[in-house]
């Protein structure tokens, strides 16, 4: 799989192949420094070429990703909202553009870029305010489990197809009676010779309806000294006998993102369906959750940046009392407050992204990022709707969609209350 450049396939004919290297060139080193403007001093918070954590390679990736989301996602999103899911076609187009499996090693069938390149894709999707395609969960939550813990056969079977957008991934943790408390899971897999018999149900599963493969979290040892010692992960493919997809759930937001109930009724799985080692699933989950929480946090900050620019443009055009709303001092002060809050948040998030790129992001810090950024997202959404007045409550206005989409962010990926527990536990620990 020679020279598969993430996010650049649409530009290769124009600029020629440019191998992405984790080792910074002199030009990249210069552009990683102070000569790259920070968002606070840029013309807009969405400008390309800002933020010192990125390089010129990331800028090219961003240009390509922005073009893709503007041309292949935004024009169709309203129809997908009615359908409750995106098209299969957009997944394959994303695969052709190199927007899936970006940070998965090339030797496994991924694109082989860094996590900052994945962040570019996360952010650009939020910059068009289109939450339908579950690309980030597929690429940066589901695929790493397979790449990090899967057998050679599992990696060869799934990763190339997932990178191409021909196999859509989901992960099934949440149950009707177990959300943030993963140790409360009741889905059970029992050994039967060399096989496993899986029974249980899952709910609120992103990509669940369209999924071709689902990582299912299940109890495999009910006699373990603690629930954490008796959980395993399984790869369950669509079409497996006894695997039933329930209804697409009718949510108040994320209307184009398919979210489903999943049921497992005496599903017989071969030994090869076990992902990683038996009874080690909880430890795999704990190892991968910081990236999931960082992802949610970056999506939240990118949404804040989009909402701010959308609102800035609106108040500069909307007239009241004979002049634009932007001339009112109270509105100006509100914009000043919001931009400051967003730029402070962006500085922290970029630090977390760099820490993660250096493999130094710990769980408490990721939890801080997730809770703080998603809370900020909801605060910014509320303020931006208010500045739009009655029109901000109308579904055809982007700010209305951003408002309802933001509400789930403090809930999934571990509620923000749980995030505070994890942070506090680290603070008071004697270790």
In degrees, rounded to 5, the angle at the alpha carbon of residue 300 between the alpha carbons of residues 298 and 305 is 95
Residues with Cβ within 8 Å of residue 382, at least 6 apart in sequence: 403
The catalytic residue among 81, 292, 305, 310 is 292
Pairing of strands 319-320, 243-248: unpaired
* CB of 37 closer than 8 Å to CB of 50: yes
Closest Cα to residue 90, out of 64, 110, 67, 68? 68
Per the listing, tokens 């948040």 go with: 345
Closest Cα to residue 409, out of 356, 362, 352, 369? 369
Query: Is residue 292 annotated as a catalytic residue, yes or no?
Result: yes
Closest Cα to residue 363, out of 320, 420, 411? 420
* CB of 199 closer than 8 Å to CB of 266: yes
Q: Which two tokens stand for residue 311?
A: 């609102």
Residue 260 backbone dihedrals phi, psi, to 5 degrees: -135, 165
| Sign of the CA dihedral running 254, 255, 260, 261 | positive
Residue 412 backbone dihedrals phi, psi, to 5 degrees: -80, 170
Q: Which two tokens stand for residue 308?
A: 């701010």
> For residue 248, what is the DSSP state?
E
* CB of 281 closer than 8 Å to CB of 232: yes
For the chain, the 3-state helix, strand and coil shares in percent, each to the nearest 5, are: 50, 15, 35
* CB of 207 closer than 8 Å to CB of 137: yes
* Active-site amino acid positions: 292
């Amino acid at each position: 799989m020679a020279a598969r450049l993430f996010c650049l396939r649409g530009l290769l004919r124009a600029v020629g192949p440019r191998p992405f290297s984790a080792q910074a060139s002199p030009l990249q080193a210069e552009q990683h420094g102070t000569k790259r403007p920070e968002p606070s001093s840029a013309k807009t918070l969405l400008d390309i070429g800002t933020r010192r954590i990125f390089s010129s390679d990331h800028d090219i990736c961003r240009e390509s990703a922005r073009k893709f989301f503007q041309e292949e996602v935004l024009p169709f999103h309203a129809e997908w909202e009615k359908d409750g899911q995106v098209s299969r076609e957009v997944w394959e187009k994303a695969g052709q553009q190199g927007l899936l499996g970006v940070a998965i090693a090339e030797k496994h069938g991924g694109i082989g870029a860094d996590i900052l390149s994945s962040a570019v894709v996360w952010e650009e999707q939020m910059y068009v305010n289109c939450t339908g395609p579950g690309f980030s969960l597929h690429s940066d939550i589901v695929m790493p489990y397979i790449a990090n813990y899967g057998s050679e056969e599992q990696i060869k079977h799934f990763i190339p197809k997932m990178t191409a957008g021909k196999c859509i991934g989901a992960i099934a943790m949440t149950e009707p009676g177990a959300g943030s408390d993963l140790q409360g899971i009741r889905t059970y897999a029992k050994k039967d010779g060399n096989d496993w018999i899986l029974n249980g149900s899952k709910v609120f599963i992103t990509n669940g309806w369209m999924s071709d493969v689902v990582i299912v979290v299940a109890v495999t040892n009910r006699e373990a000294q603690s629930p954490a010692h008796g959980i395993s992960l399984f790869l369950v493919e669509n079409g497996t006998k006894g695997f039933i997809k329930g209804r697409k759930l009718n949510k108040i937001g994320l209307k184009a993102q398919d979210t489903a109930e999943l049921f497992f009724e005496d599903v017989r799985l071969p030994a090869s369906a076990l992902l990683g080692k038996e009874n080690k699933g909880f430890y795999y989950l704990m190892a991968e959750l910081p990236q999931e929480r960082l992802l949610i946090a970056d999506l939240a900050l990118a949404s804040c940046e989009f909402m701010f620019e959308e609102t800035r443009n609106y108040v500069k055009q909307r007239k009241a009392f004979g002049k634009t709303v932007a001339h009112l001092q109270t509105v100006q002060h509100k914009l000043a407050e919001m931009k400051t809050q967003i730029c402070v948040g962006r500085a922290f998030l970029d630090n977390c992204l760099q820490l993660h790129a250096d493999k130094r992001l710990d769980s408490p810090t990721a939890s801080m990022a997730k809770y703080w950024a998603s809370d900020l997202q909801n605060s910014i959404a509320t303020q931006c709707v208010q500045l739009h007045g009655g029109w901000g409550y109308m579904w055809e206005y982007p700010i209305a969609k951003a408002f309802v989409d933001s509400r789930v962010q403090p809930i999934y990926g571990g509620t923000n209350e749980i995030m505070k527990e994890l942070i506090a536990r680290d603070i008071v620990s004697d270790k």
